Amino acid sequence: MMKNIKLKLSSFFETAEKKWQLLSLEKQHQVLLTFLLSYGLLSLSVFIKIGYDLYTSNKQFQIEHIKTPIQKSSEISVFTDSINSIQKNNLYERE
């Protein structure tokens, strides 16, 4: 299944590369410039939105540490990971 997906992806990228190479240099430049400008406008709009949200909020912008509760060792053992249990059972060791 993975080989099938890999073959489909590689053929897709090869055809995309061939189509890109068939374009003239002016058309390639135009497409690249269009994508770059649209990315720049999107980034600028996100920065403006963040600035607007910070400016209009009454709260002061603060960065704080994430507070996580400390779990007891008995609570941690209830949720065991399957990979850890396999490694503990030595299923992948050589004989």
How many whole angstroms separate alpha carbon 50 and alpha carbon 4? 43
Determine if the pTM surpasses 0.75.
no
Q: What is residue 65's DSSP assignment?
A: P
- Residues 23, 31: contact at Cβ < 8 Å? yes
Q: What does the block give as tokens for 76?
A: 């941690």
Task: Output the tens digit of pLDDT for each of the chain's 95 residues.
Answer: 888 999 999 999 999 999 999 999 999 999 999 999 999 999 999 999 988 988 887 666 677 777 776 655 555 555 555 665 555 555 555 55
| The pLDDT value given to residue 66 | 73
